[in-house]
Chains A and B, each alone.
Chain A
Amino acid sequence: MAYLDHAATTPMLEEVISAMSATMSEVGNASSLHAAGRRARRTVEESRERLAASLDAGPSEIIFTGGGTESDNLAVKGIYLARRAENAARRRILVSAIEHHAVLDAVLWLGSHEQAQVELLPVDEVGQVHPDTLATAIARDPGSVALVSVMWANNEIGTVQPISELAEVAHQWDIPFHTDAVQAVGTLDVSFARSGVDALTVTAHKLGGPYGAGALLLSRDVNCVPLLHGGGQERDVRSGTLDTAGVVGLSLAAELAVGRRSEMAQRLTGLRNTLIAGILREVPEARINGHPTQRLPGNVHASFRGCEGDSLLMLLDAKGVECSTGSACSAGVSQPSHVLLAMGADEATARGSLRFSLGHTSTESDVEAVVGAIGGVVERARRAGLANAVRR
């Protein structure tokens, strides 16, 4: 098996598994006052400091959550509701057109239930949001903007955004800025302090940590209305008994991933470039999507005209190559990617695309497996694509 879907999830690190197992065998609710509770709390707080150090943030800026989706929802809904409560005129939410559904669907929900006006910031043909685009959108009516959210790096096409510049633009008008950095941590230099963002989403399972553990990094001067009410944990912003083992797993995975980031980025960039060259050699008409250099080290996203992504996926799966069409599913049916459409791709191109994503266990032989299979697979999928065009 060649696993090239690390952007979906990446194998857990052995160190993380043993640290979590050790934690799981100890009793203790971090909110309890007795010795067992104190021990759990100490573990949680040490983990908080460890995660803060890895992401260049203050420990008090960390809110542990149940993963990336929750962090994104908490950020955009919580900050929107807080900003609107302060000033009812703040109804506009500006997000990039290529956000993950955890941001996109959350703001669309605010649009249909909380009177938000959602504006999608256009991207260029390689998937970048220009600071000018953001500035123009804000300047149209600065007083009405509740928040801005632009992801650090895109999960499908791997394009990296000029996050500090974008955050700076928002700050010229004192507008809070959130970024989903789920795909960025571990291969890019993610510093909460230096980036200038006010809120940042991270999740453990893309770093070698467990599923269902994440955090929202939230600056102390940004108000955020809680979505989960209860025991008042996590600064009253996110109630719920802390998952001590999950918190340990997240923090250790982040520390390990960030610690070997440069070396990993360099290795993955090499593999990625070999993979891109190999695909283009086998299928010269293939198109690599996204930014040529400002892209995630482990991301290759390619379009194969005349092919259905579904067919490509199935044929590669049968040859032991595991990858993704990169786009979201609705009821198991893959939809043409909103990311590619936003970059100006036509629907046929958007449907005929694959994402290969490399990670810490990737090797040369994974890349060779793809390169060895891709030519035949594309040819076959193209024939099937032609067989299947709607007859009119």
Chain B
Amino acid sequence: MKGDACLNATTSDVPLKVLAAMSGGVDSAVAAARAVDAGWDVTGVHLALSRQPATLRSGARGCCSVEDANDARRAADVLGIPFYVWDFAERFAADVIDDFVAEYEAGRTPNPCLRCNEQIKFSALLDRALALGFDAVVTGHHAQLADGELRRSVDAGKDQSYVLAVLTPDQLSHAIFPLGDSTKDQVRAEAAARGLSVADKPDSHDICFIADGDTQRFLTDRLGERPGDIVDADGQVLGEHAGTFGFTVGQRKGLNLTTPAAGGKPRYVLSISPKSNTVVVGDKAALEVGAISCTAPVWISRRGSDEFDCAVQLRAHGMVSPARVRLDPDGGLTARLDRPQFGVAAGQALVMYDGDRVLGSATITATSR
């Protein structure tokens, strides 16, 4: 449960000054509690990320509602730590929501949680925290961080190392994840034992800024309808779409095709082309991916050679496959999968692991068989 920041602190008598990001959920509340137990000087902060907090989903499901801010405040009061709400709505809109819309518009599939960690929690928030005299930001992410190494949580089902793998060593040196050595059940039990009222609050699942979970409508509201054709690999028109941004590579449901496939085989989105405003569909075999090109790698623990074996994960909670990674002269990288995977979407992160240890990550730009 230690990050680099707390190792530094052992060299001095002054307690570490940490800012605990408190979403109003059980994880961040217990993370803050453990920081208090560690003897650190803890201040709780809730990030207000919505421009209209009252209009976002209420209750337990989101991460930006008024109720969540109140839950976080209540937990901070129980822990006896100062608590503030900081308004990051503008940064969140610019760096996460606008990026989310632009990525879909460009035919890619973004991961907003990852972007939020990279741009908000460990950039905007961390920068402000450091400037205000804090040493580190504490969050309730399920991942282990020690000696600069990021590892999966002991709870494989809840592991969040994938959405943290975009962080640089510098960012990680000011991050503390106190929950990595515990399962979610243990965290809940601990919350109950500590008298935190969020102990049995349901997990948040979907995208926090899409209140009703209807991503397609969210995007349509922002981008407008842009009708075009759904075609097969030969270019034959099979149906219509209201905008290519409504699709993800590998998607099967919601295609509304008018022409049934030969033999009634299910069809999947193979590729998305905003330029020609078409969505190409085909059968599952055509989704097979053996090689993945990526850009902008970020290394937490870089390998010595330009070509190495590791395991790669291609989406949050996705399968892991052994692969051979080669660093390209242009600064990008290519991963050759030992076993093909299906439905790999551009825009997602490719995260490289050595066992449970994160080596680094890069953004997927293209795939081939």
Contacts and interface: CB of A to CB of B under 8 A. Distances in A.
Given A331-B69, A332-B73, A381-B132, A390 B94 contact: yes
B308 interface: no
Contact of A333 (B48, B82, B128, B130): B48
Which bucket holds chain B's interface residue count? 20 to 34
Nearest to A314: B84
B132 A314 contact: yes
Nearest to A311: B132
Contacts of A318: 43, 82
B355 interface: no
Interface string A328-343: 0111111000000000
Interface string B9-49: 00000000000000000000000000000000001001010
A332 B46 contact: yes
Nearest to B127: A387
B94 A392 contact: yes
A383 B131 CA distance: 6
Given A314-B43, A332-B46, A333-B48, A388 B132 contact: no
A346 to B, nearest CB: 16
A331 B95 CA distance: 22
Given A314-B43, A331-B53, A332-B73, A387 B131 contact: yes
Interface string A367-392: 00000000000001101101110111
Contacts of B176: none
A384 B128 contact: yes
B128 to A, nearest CB: 5
A314 B48 contact: no
Interface string B137-158: 0000000000000000000000
A315 interface: yes
Contacts of B69: 331-332
A357 to B, nearest CB: 20
Nearest to A335: B87
Contacts of B91: 388, 390
Contacts of B132: 311, 314-315, 380-381, 384
A313 B83 CA distance: 11
A310 interface: yes
A317 interface: yes
Contacts of B82: 314, 317-318
Contact of A380 (B48, B95, B124, B131): B131
A109 to B, nearest CB: 16
A386 B132 CA distance: 11
Given A332-B46, A388-B124, A310 B131 contact: no
B67 to A, nearest CB: 10
Given A314-B82, A332-B46, A333-B85, A390 B90 contact: yes
B2 to A, nearest CB: 24
A3 to B, nearest CB: 16
Nearest to B73: A332
A170 B69 CA distance: 44
A390 B92 CA distance: 10
Given A380-B132, A387-B130, A333 B53 contact: yes
A364 to B, nearest CB: 26
Contacts of A311: 128, 132
A381 B129 CA distance: 10
Nearest to A389: B91
A332 B128 contact: no
B87 A333 contact: yes
Interface string B81-124: 01011110111001100000000000000000000000000001
Interface in B320-361: none
A383 B129 CA distance: 10
Given A311-B128, A311-B132, A388-B124, A331 B84 contact: no
Contact of B48 (A332, A381, A392): A332
A333 B47 CA distance: 9
A2 to B, nearest CB: 16
Given A331-B66, A387-B131, A310 B53 contact: no
| CB-CB nearest 8 A-B residue pairs | A332-B85, A384-B131, A387-B127, A331-B53, A383-B131, A333-B48, A387-B131, A331-B66
Given A314-B82, A331-B66, A333-B87, 8 more contacts: A310-B87, A331-B48, A331-B69, A332-B66, A333-B53, A387-B130, A388-B128, A391-B95
16 contacts: A311-B132, A314-B43, A314-B82, A317-B82, A318-B82, A329-B85, A330-B53, A332-B46, A332-B70, A332-B73, A380-B133, A381-B132, A384-B131, A384-B132, A387-B131, A390-B94
